[in-house]
Amino acid sequence: MEVNPRSNQGYGTLERIGYRIGASVDTRVSRAQKIFVGFASVAVVMAVIVGTASVVKNSAMENYNSLYSVNERGLAYVTDDSVVYSFGTETPEDTPPELNRFPKDPKKISVDLFSHPKVVETMESLLDESNEFYDPDLHDACNGPDNNIDIYLNEDQMRADLWYSDAYSAFGLDCRLPNTNHIAFLVVMGAMGDIINIRRIERRAESVNLYNTSTILASTQRGVYLWNYITDTYERTKFSADTHTLIYRQSENRFYGCYPDKKAIELHEPNTVCSFDGVSGKTVFDDKLQKTKGWAWSDASAHMNYITLGGDAAYVSERQNSALKKVNMDTNEVEWVLGGRENTFDITIYDGSSVDITFRGGAQGTSQPWNHQHKFQHLDDQYVSLFDNNVDNDHTFIEKSWGKDSRMVVLHIDQENQKAEEVFSWPTGDRARSYGGTDILATGNVLGSSYVDWVFPAMEDYQYHQNIWEVNTAGEVVWRVGFKGLNIVAPEDVTDPYPHHFRKAGDSLSDVMPVGWNIYNVERVYPLPVVSQPCAIRSEGQPDQLQFMPFNTLRSQEDYPGAAFVAPSGTVDYVGSTTFMFHKSWLPRLVIMDIDTPADDPELTLSVGNHWDEFAVIEIGKMSELADCPAEDQFRSFFPIS
């Protein structure tokens, strides 16, 4: 096992990010700038359409809900009568099965988060009585164990056929007690466990997304922030939003998320989604002069937890309804519903059987294909994905054909004929009542996360509070990150199972919330655009052609423009160039470029750039020595029409 104690990581990792373009970069960037001129001025005309549901405003965000009281220095985690914490009074429902949830021939790396200077500073502040964050109970419950992050990876399967320097993962990480007390961080981590950067935040973030390659967009319980993890600049925006979901669409310079009304903030039940102006931060609700152009839509009793955009449509994930709703933002009409009571699709699940969604006899949970999901998102007009938490209205896990576990799901949808088919389903082996996601990566692998219901510290596979998963489409784990923690009422007990949840006493329908270490969702980001292995198309009497698949540095809410150039290595004498559009969700999109191969068949360099002038530079060798393009892609299964 390789131990990576973190003490000398941090900014050294960032300094290794090099463009390696050399003297020719000025010419290439200049040309790329000409190609991208005018992109920032592109605007999508949006009608100002406001939902009819009433909204009780509470946009100040300072009055976040606090349902659970803290005992007066009797240890916050020794709970009073308002909280039920099951350690010592209950046992887990069953012992987890023996599963192999590790990569094939894995490399294991352990990281000591608690030796990072920023985490050390955070923990010390919890013991400083003069510090506003003083909380010795939180310190005792969260400060350990050493080497608390384990990374397991198969490098070849994780990389597939991509050319890149590193693959980062961005997420919010927090440790909490059965009350509002917690410590929270934003984290960017490299594939080998390098902490690229970490930032303590005052109150936790739920959904974390990318604003651009180097900047994290986080909606926290203290406002919306932009964090440049390279410069470590942390900037509060002019607005607040509900924490469940917040995304950015650059062509409009608008953010989209849940409006922070009273129901969203005090009851944690967001039912209104809207746009926030990128300059003023205002919504159509907040601007008394009604000069702000924007969009809003409400749906009663929805518990919205994610929003994605595709063209003029918003796709809203409604946890309470176990559904994804497509809303036309020009008319505010619901065009279709996938899942739940109002489902309009014929649904086929992963085993080929059709689903009859019924609500008779109280069997609504078992008759639905997924239950109380998170991050139900539009990837493309043919593909959507979700994290199926698989819990019923009473927060119990539902027995399905794969058991009671939460799972990662991708569906192929035919919108015209209203048919949907699960084309990927991977039970995680964890039971996560909340949180999670399922993202298709540039490699064709699938990224997600899950926290656990019970921790089994004596079992290697089940000792973690939280997992991040990357699996291939065959269901094999290729990368796993496990976060260990302590039993919050008995930190010295490292053998007995303990719950990773609590609930409000006397209320069977209250949320069963996690304690210890947790992640809401994970996003992958690359320092530079990435490219699949280039190959050659050769036809007699025709110019040689270069084929590859480019992927942008991040997933976005619209396709962004890109450009590619090929030149003999060390020169700017281009023998091929083209422009294209990066797919917003990293679905594969082929680029084919004519190459005017010089007679001497020199070594060639491929440069691929995005509209932020970030370039990947790849030495591809001689055109004559490139392999012919294969008939099928051996790594990717989810191909868009265009």
Q: What is the pLDDT of residue 335?
A: 98
Q: Is the pLDDT of residue 56 over 60?
A: no
Specify whether 415 is located in the same domain as 549.
no
Q: What is the pLDDT of residues 463-509, one digit of tens each?
A: 999 999 999 999 999 999 999 999 998 899 999 999 999 877 766 65
Among 509, 525, 541, identify where a domain stops.
525
Q: Spell 562-587 as b/e; 16+ CB within 10 A means b.
A: bbbbbbbeeebebbbbeebebbbbbb
Report yes or no on 55 lying in a domain. no
Specify whether 592 is located in the same domain as 449.
no
Specify whether 502 is located in the same domain as 548.
no
Residue predicted with more confidence, 84 or 285:
285
**Any idea which residue has 């909380």 for tokens?**
135
Q: Is the pLDDT of residue 180 over 80?
A: no
Specify whether 339 is located in the same domain as 443.
yes
Residue predicted with more confidence, 154 or 288:
154
Q: What is the pLDDT of residues 385-406, one digit of tens each?
A: 999 999 998 889 999 999 999 9
In 3D, which of 442, 444, 638 has the Cα closest to residue 553?
442
Confidence class of residue 204 from pLDDT cuts 50, 70 and 90? very high
Report yes or no on 15 lying in a domain. no
Strand partners, 360: none
Mean pLDDT of 402-417: 97
Q: What is the pLDDT of residue 81?
A: 64
* Most confident by average pLDDT, 20-34, 101-115, 350-364: 101-115
Among 494, 525, 556, identify where a domain stops.
525
Specify whether 584 is located in the same domain as 463.
no
Confidence class of residue 213 from pLDDT cuts 50, 70 and 90? very high
Confidence class of residue 513 from pLDDT cuts 50, 70 and 90? confident
Q: What is the pLDDT of residue 565?
A: 98
Specify whether 284 is located in the same domain as 176.
yes
Report yes or no on 72 lying in a domain. no
| One-letter amino acid of 530 | V
* Strand 346-348 versus strand 254-258 pairing type: unpaired
Q: Is the pLDDT of residue 260 over 90?
A: yes
Confidence class of residue 262 from pLDDT cuts 50, 70 and 90? confident
Query: Percentage of the chain surpassing pLDDT 70?
Result: 85
Q: What is the pLDDT of residue 18?
A: 29
Specify whether 446 is located in the same domain as 591.
no
The domain spanning residue 324 has which CATH number?
2.130.10
Report yes or no on 226 lying in a domain. yes
Strand partners, 163: 531
Q: Is the pLDDT of residue 21 over 70?
A: no
- Alpha carbon distance 315, 129 (integer Å): 47
Report yes or no on 610 lying in a domain. yes
Specify whether 573 is located in the same domain as 518.
no
Q: What is the pLDDT of residues 290-319, one digit of tens each?
A: 888 999 999 998 999 999 999 999 999 999
Report yes or no on 56 lying in a domain. no
Q: Please state, rounded to an integer, the average pLDDT across all residues of the chain.
A: 86
Mean pLDDT of 17-32: 33
The domain spanning residue 547 has which CATH number?
2.60.40
Beta carbons within 10 angstroms of residue 640's beta carbon: 14
According to DSSP, residue 461 is labeled G
Specify whether 116 is located in the same domain as 204.
yes
Residue 32 is inside which H or E element, if any? helix 25-36
Domain that holds residue 335: 107-525
Among 525, 551, 567, identify where a domain stops.
525
Specify whether 541 is located in the same domain as 441.
no
Edge-first strand order for the sheet with 304-310 is 304-310, 313-318, 323-328, 334-338
Specify whether 573 is located in the same domain as 444.
no
Specify whether 577 is located in the same domain as 451.
no
Report yes or no on 71 lying in a domain. no
Q: What is the pLDDT of residue 507?
A: 67
In 3D, which of 326, 416, 425 has the Cα closest to residue 369?
425
Report yes or no on 576 lying in a domain. yes
Number of domains the chain is built from: 2
Mean pLDDT of 506-518: 79
- Alpha carbon distance 59, 36 (integer Å): 37
Beta-carbon contacts of 309 under 8 Å, excluding residues fewer than 6 positions away, are 247, 249, 256, 315, 378, 557, 558
Determine the number of helices (DSSP H) and then strands (DSSP E) in the chain. Answer: 7, 43
